[in-house]
A and B are shown apart, each in its own frame.
Chain A
Amino acid sequence: MKLNRKNKQKSEISTSSLPDIIFMLLIFFMVTTVMREFEGLDIVLPRAEKIEKLESKRHTVHMWITKDGLISVNDRIVDIKNLGNVMANKIAQDPKITVSLKSDDKSRMQLITEVHTQLRNAQALKLNYSTLTKGNN
């Protein structure tokens, strides 16, 4: 008597829905991807523990401050004296903006205080000190 081989019954996993799954993942990544907008300046961010995420990307102005005192707003080098005017323009276009301040951890408070004053003059009051999470490398 011949043994019935069980191999004949081997069934394959249906791969017909694989493209659908991949497409779903694809769409997810397409929606969440934001191309990097700005180059920024060369800085080392400080570290903090109690940090919050920025609410909205659209209403954010990125500001970089190096330890040498170079200030860049959305990739444009701005003189500290003109910072108030530049920010006032941004506020006029969109009153809801938050300033994401990415300052080098070695910069001096004299400069930061000056930036505060300029921001207050421009009524750009929402500020976020960009930091890294403590413990991460």
Chain B
Amino acid sequence: MLGKPRRQAMQEINSSSMSDIAFLLLVFFLVTTTISMDKGISLILPAEGNELEVNRKNIISILVNDKGKVLMDDNPTKINQIKTKASKRISSNPNIIFSITTHKNTNYDDYILVLDQLKQANASKISIANPPSF
């Protein structure tokens, strides 16, 4: 008598609910996932005691007062015009440094707007001057 192969009797684990389990886990992770909100304007601060002397010709001073008004190179400038002005200056002098000075009561919002305009003009050399203490 030939022995029947035992394999025929092997039972499989019922895997029909596997996809349900996987779905449940998937929904859990979908719900808990928070897409990273960390984005913004990057800037490298100068190291302490690393002050350089720069030719005045290479500096454009940007003053932002507490009402959000901007003075760029002694000319009153609207915030949305900074970008075009800055890119013009960069194309004529690539080494130009933008120095942002703020009043102590300036809104952070206005400062970010100015910084954003400079970044949009692809300005790489941005310096943040301390507000004058008066």
Contact = CB atoms under 8 A, between A and B. Distances in A.
A50 B29 contact: no
Given A107-B108, A128-B43, A49 B116 contact: yes
B34 to A, nearest CB: 6
B81 interface: no
Contacts of B32: 33, 35
B22 A19 contact: yes
Given A19-B19, A22-B23, A128 B47 contact: no
Name B's interface SS.
Answer: mixed
A101 B41 CA distance: 10
A70 interface: no
Interface stretch (B5-13, B70-78, B98-106): B98-106
A54 B109 contact: no
B38 A113 contact: no
Contact of B39 (A36, A53, A112, A123): A53
B1 interface: no
A48 B29 contact: no
A130 B128 contact: no
A106 B2 CA distance: 89
Interface residues of B, number: 44
Interface stretch (A3-11, A74-82, A114-122): A114-122
Contact of B46 (A32, A104, A124, A125): A125
A19 B18 contact: yes
B42 A127 contact: yes
B47 A125 contact: yes
Interface string A43-68: 00011111111100100100000000
Nearest to A119: B45
A128 B116 contact: no
A1 interface: no
Interface of A: 15, 18-19, 22-23, 25-26, 29-30, 32-36, 46-54, 57, 60, 98, 100-101, 103-110, 112-113, 116-117, 119-121, 123-131, 133
Interface of B: 15, 18-19, 22-23, 25-26, 29-30, 32-34, 36-48, 64, 102-109, 111-113, 115-116, 119-120, 128, 130-131
